[in-house]
Structure 1
Amino acid sequence: MSKVGKVFWISLAISAIFVVWGVAAPKNLEYISNEAQSFLTSQFGWFYIVSVAIFLVFSIYLIFSRFGHMRLGKEGEKPEYNRITWFAMLFSAGMGIGLIFWGAAETLAHYAAPPEAEAESIEAAKNALRYSVFHWGLQTWAVYTVIALAIAYFKFKRGAPGLISSTFEPLIGERTKGWIGNVIDIIAVFATIFGVATSLGLGASQIAGGLSFISDIKNNFTTQFIIIIIVTILFMASAWSGIGKGIKWLSNANIVLAVLLLLLTLFLGPTQFILNTFIATMGSYVESLPSLSFQTGSFNDNFNGWIQSWTIFYWAWFIAWSPFVGTFIARVSKGRTVREFVIGVLFIPTIFCAFWFIVFGGSSLFQEINGINTGLTDLAQEETLFGLFEGMPMSSVLTIIALFLISTFFITSADSATFVLGMQTTNGSLNPSNKIKMIWGIIQAATASVLLATGGLNALQTASIVSAFPFAFILLFMVVALVMAMNEDLKKEKSSKSKN
């Protein structure tokens, strides 16, 4: 069994208490969670917005800064993977249950209940696509850029353990190995648990929604819970038997199926409309990015409520999800320069995500506006994607591909996330034991089940917002620590060159 310490045992104990709390007193957990969410979004919504804006500005600054040439590794060390393979890995990191769940649902939600324009108007349709791209664009990937860059820099250039606390060495020195470092890592563990649980909960509800849409199976908690159990068993079987090739095969299958689903939707749908809309929406997004980044709706209560429900939820979810995605990106980026890393991580996935949302969101709007498949806006969010396919040729094929894709994302996300949790709780071990991974797999499944049982999608949103709040502070301090480390190393680099 991998070496475990205080971070593992404390994290495990608190996680178990949360699960027991949810089982024994679900109403009390729901009430306390909702109160915490209401307080954080109303009093600190601005904090999430400003924090994510800082991450984006900092990321763009790094591209043009004097740190751009510095390498994530020793001097002269070459990248582990060629650019095409690396881009493919970034592409896979950008894919997830969230894209499948919200691809069509978010755009239609903004169209039916826009923050500003008249509902179901052409203006609302344009804004709906722009907001979807905004929520899954540069801001999202700036969060991942910051944490992934910090982990990669300290791991590969300075030889530090792959822990969140290790990136704080320039700020607190040896105390990263003491109780302060333990607190940082425990907060990171909980951000990861709730961020991943949110995705697993979305996946379970969408699989149940799809089955309900095409059969007599009811989309309720019982169905969702059975889905979580089945996926957990599949993951456990893989982890216990050490079938790494199976998960690797599924990961590759994810990419193939996602691209296949994207292209089929593009070419079976209103292709010309989608391509024209993509160009127009990207222009609108770039033009309005500064104002979108700092909107709080302070003079409009409805707009403010919309921002709390959508933008702040997303920023919190991505912050909570960032230790998972950041660790993955860091692991595959050894040898890249800071400039190359930031350009690749910030822009490549953003373009793909934008295209994804415009293909699925644009197709949904086209069907709704042109009367091809009216009633899409009346469907539950987890059923919207399947409603879209119903109005297209080969609907059964598209639905089967989507259900299989969600399922494989579910399994591979659980596997990857338990690896990251195992790594975070075993002092950065790159090979946490299967027992450790299985413990965190059970905790993740139990957490997702408890959240679904105590409030469904609202509870998933609440968990992300609450868990991300303390971790946002860690990310902000991580920016400071990273700049300090790069300054120190740049001075050493210049001093070494001058001596030679």
Structure 2
Amino acid sequence: MIKKNIKHTFSTGVTIPSLIFIIGVCVLSAAFPQLTENLLDSVKGFIFVNLNWIYVWSVTIFVIFLIYLMFSKYGKIRLGKNDSKPEYSFFSWISMLFAAGMGIGLMYFSVAEPIQHYSNEIFQGGHHINRAKNAQLYTFFHWGIHAWAIYGIVGLSLSYFSYRYRLPLSLRSCLYPLLKNKINGKWGNAIDVFALCSTFFGITTTLGFGVVQINSGLKILHLIPETSFGYQIAIVCVLVTISILSAVSGVDKGVRILSNINILTAIALMLFVLFLGPTVYIIGSFTEGLGNYFNNFFNLTFSTHVYEEETLPWFYKWTILYWAWWISWSPYVGLFIAKISKGRTIREFIAAVLILPTIFNFIWMSVFGSSAIWFDKNSVGGALSALAGNPDILMFRFLDNLPLSGFVSVMVIIIIIIFFVTSADSGIYVMNGIATRNAKNSPKWQTVAWGVLLAALALLVLNAGGLNALQSMTLITALPFSIIILLFIVSLVKALVIDMDYYDREFSASTVPWSGEFWKERLRRIVSFNDKTSVDHFIDNTVKSAFEDLKEEFGANGIEVKVNYLENPKRIEIEIQYDVVNNFIYGVKTQSRSVSDYLLTEENLPDYENKNTFYPESYFGDAREGYDVRLFTKNELISDVLKHYERFIEIISEHKNAIFISSDANQKIK
């Protein structure tokens, strides 16, 4: 019997170390939950107390850098070739990045966090109005621009280097300007191992907390009798099965469709609470809270609470924990955002990722959090504050104060389930991408295997009570990755400067402008050169003759040149092939554009027989924008080719441009 090897696309240098570490940590958390939790808590506590300034400064730099980039000249650069177009509609794009980034957390913390801040003893000294304002302010702070800036930096770096530089969609690619081809070795593997482990731990922890909340909600609704481990097994199996099916179907189908459905359902729930809850109070609190957030933006951003020792434990438990949590999730969310963002400009990417989700989060937190605080004071006499230590059921107890609470609670559970599925399926998809170095056509069993491993280890840890230890491990990994993200910024700045210089490079001073020698011929072409036959004739004669002469002369100088003839559209190009750098290409093709209606009836203009006019347009091998060459004579066209060739020689002679022009480098890292 011949044993057949199982086909796979795994990168062993990434997958094997990752699995050893993931399984090892999960087994330790399950076998020795208390010991592991105490050990990891000690490490986490040391980092939060002594190195919290690294998180504060890192997140601050992320925010400042993205805001600068959005308004700078680099904002016009496209994530892909200059003519790239987005693959997804704006609504689908926003829905997917939002659902992957924060979805299930909003359901869990939208009531719990404001109530916990409101009832926290460090805010008890003030009037209830100040406590309510502080609760909203810090909730905005933790779920606002700072959180999305972390995701934005990672997603932007991945998108830029993957689609602009044609590097693999991998975290290692973000350090290419600094490490060059070393990203293919141990350094690159180490970065991807870190990303894979961080993603797995983050999703496993979220799955555990999500299952507990769903279990509690089903018990409150009397759909199940208890919150036992047996029911949690059933919930995990159902959720992961749906996630696997969605991930197998791909981003274009399962992930996109579920994200669209869920964001619409979540908006419907939010509107229900807004209009049937304390509407005037909600709108007023949102308005005032927004102003309060902007007024305190810089104080919050740079605050380390070093002068308020009594608030330090709260600062570590909330702000620093949030920054660590968002950073630990950024490899996964950033990879997924990058996967769906090809074709967007940097300015569009930052504006959408940084601003739109932040505004939605503020509205959402105001609708649920402010309503909960209002009910707690004016309706239930502090009953919600009394449940601050039990966040799993706070959302459902809050809904008891609204009409149709049973129906709405079921709706909330459905939203939580879909939010989890959209996080898990995109997570499974991303994990397989990291483990395979973004290989194409991976067998579906690999996606299934990641889902099964996720479910098995989550249940193992959940049953043993090791979920807190796993969460601590996730937060500890955030410290080294915050440094890595800072290096992403250095790498991105270096690349953007070169990028802008490359595409905006002017012709050399030796370029000779047109003379007036052939003005009569040029005028004749201006008034008559507008039909396809004439353009094709120009390409077949003037362009072809110019390129053939150039080919002969290049050959006389020892340079081999090809002249390529292509159709649909008709075009001719001159190509000089190289082994180390990208080929030099200068071509001319037939293009058309629409003519305004009023020009068709204007007598004192050239005759336009229909709404389309044709012209010959130049194009180049590096996707720079071409231009109309119909007014060029043969010699002027030859001169134009030589101008671009001179520019090409000048650019490839500069070492800093290697990441743009080195075909050998691009081939090695694919």
Report the equivalent of 2:368. 360
User: Which amino acid is the alignment partner of residue 10 of structure 2?
Assistant: V
Q: Residues 446, 377 of structure 1: CA spacing in aligned structure 2 closer, same or farther, 3 A cutoff?
A: farther
Tell whether the 8 Å contact from 1:116 to 1:303 is kept in structure 2 after alignment. no
User: Which amino acid is the alignment partner of residue 489 of structure 1?
Assistant: D
The correspondence for 1:278, drawn from 272, 276, 286, is: 286
Distance 1:87 1:238 in 2: 18
Tell whether the 8 Å contact from 1:15 to 1:443 is kept in structure 2 after alignment. no
Distance 1:94 1:444 in 2: 19
The correspondence for 2:205, drawn from 168, 193, 198, is: 198
1:437 Cα shift? 1.9
Report the equivalent of 1:415. 425
Secondary structure of 1:310's aligned partner: helix
User: Which amino acid is the alignment partner of residue 361 of structure 2?
Assistant: C
Q: After superposition, what is the alpha-carbon deviation per residue over 1:139-168, rounded to whole angstroms, capped at 9, x for unaligned?
A: 011001101110110111110000000111
Q: Output aligned runs, 1:158-173, within 5 Å.
A: 158-173=165-180
Q: Output aligned runs, 1:195-234, within 5 Å.
A: 195-215=202-222, 217-219=225-227, 223-234=231-242
1:292 Cα shift? 0.7
Distance 1:232 1:100 in 2: 19
Q: After superposition, what is the alpha-carbon deviation per residue over 1:332-376, rounded to whole angstroms, capped at 9, x for unaligned?
A: 222222112111111000000111111000110110011346411
Confirm whether residue 3 of structure 1 aligns to residue 9 of structure 2. Answer: yes
User: Which amino acid is the alignment partner of residue 482 of structure 1?
Assistant: L
User: Which amino acid is the alignment partner of residue 322 of structure 1?
Assistant: S
Q: Residues 399, 106 of structure 1: CA spacing in aligned structure 2 closer, same or farther, 3 A cutoff?
A: same
Q: After superposition, what is the alpha-carbon deviation per residue over 1:22-61, rounded to whole angstroms, capped at 9, x for unaligned?
A: 2322222222221121111112112112111111111111
Q: Residues 391, 338 of structure 1: CA spacing in aligned structure 2 closer, same or farther, 3 A cutoff?
A: same
Alignment size in residue pairs: 500
Tell whether the 8 Å contact from 1:191 to 1:467 is kept in structure 2 after alignment. yes
Report the equivalent of 2:378. 370
Confirm whether residue 309 of structure 1 aligns to residue 317 of structure 2. Answer: yes
Which structure has greater helix proportion?
1
The correspondence for 2:69, drawn from 55, 62, 76, is: 62
Q: Residues 241, 311 of structure 1: CA spacing in aligned structure 2 closer, same or farther, 3 A cutoff?
A: closer
Taking only aligned residues, the RMSD between alpha carbons, in angstroms, comes to 2.4
Tell whether the 8 Å contact from 1:451 to 1:459 is kept in structure 2 after alignment. no
Q: Output aligned runs, 1:459-498, within 5 Å.
A: 459=469, 461-495=471-505
Distance 1:298 1:74 in 2: 48
Report the equivalent of 2:334. 326
- Name whichever of 92-101 and 314-323 sits farther off: 92-101
Distance 1:67 1:467 in 2: 31
Sequence identity of aligned pairs in percent? 38
User: Which amino acid is the alignment partner of residue 36 of structure 1?
Assistant: V
Confirm whether residue 13 of structure 1 aligns to residue 20 of structure 2. Answer: yes
Tell whether the 8 Å contact from 2:155 to 2:334 is kept in structure 1 after alignment. yes
The correspondence for 2:111, drawn from 104, 113, 120, is: 104
Distance 2:404 2:126 in 1: 31
- Name whichever of 457-466 and 447-456 sits farther off: 447-456
Q: Output aligned runs, 1:47-446, within 5 Å.
A: 47-113=54-120, 115-116=122-123, 118=125, 121-215=128-222, 217-219=225-227, 223-236=231-244, 245=253, 248-372=256-380, 374-379=382-387, 380-429=390-439, 431-446=441-456
Q: After superposition, what is the alpha-carbon deviation per residue over 1:272-323, rounded to whole angstroms, capped at 9, x for unaligned?
A: 1101110000100011011111222223333111111111111111111112
Report the equivalent of 2:653. none
Q: Residues 288, 458 of structure 1: CA spacing in aligned structure 2 closer, same or farther, 3 A cutoff?
A: farther
Distance 1:333 1:456 in 2: 36
Secondary structure of 1:417's aligned partner: helix
**Structure 2 alignment gaps of length 5 or more:** 1-6, 509-642, 645-670
Using the size of structure 2 for normalisation, the TM-score is 0.71
Q: After superposition, what is the alpha-carbon deviation per residue over 1:207-258, rounded to whole angstroms, capped at 9, x for unaligned?
A: 1221232336333555444422332244345667989855554333212221
Q: Residues 255, 70 of structure 1: CA spacing in aligned structure 2 closer, same or farther, 3 A cutoff?
A: same
Distance 1:287 1:93 in 2: 30
Distance 1:352 1:243 in 2: 23
1:457 Cα shift? 6.7
Report the equivalent of 2:583. none
1:392 Cα shift? 0.7
- Name whichever of 185-194 and 104-113 sits farther off: 185-194
Distance 1:238 1:328 in 2: 14
Report the equivalent of 2:512. none
Distance 2:221 2:93 in 1: 38
1:63 Cα shift? 1.4
Using the size of structure 1 for normalisation, the TM-score is 0.93
Which structure has greater strand proportion?
2
1:122 Cα shift? 1.5
Distance 1:129 1:283 in 2: 11
Instruction: Tell me which structure has the larger Cα radius of gyration.
Output: 2
1:480 Cα shift? 0.7
- Name whichever of 38-47 and 134-143 sits farther off: 38-47
Distance 2:254 2:430 in 1: 18
1:430 Cα shift? 5.0
Q: Residues 247, 161 of structure 1: CA spacing in aligned structure 2 closer, same or farther, 3 A cutoff?
A: closer
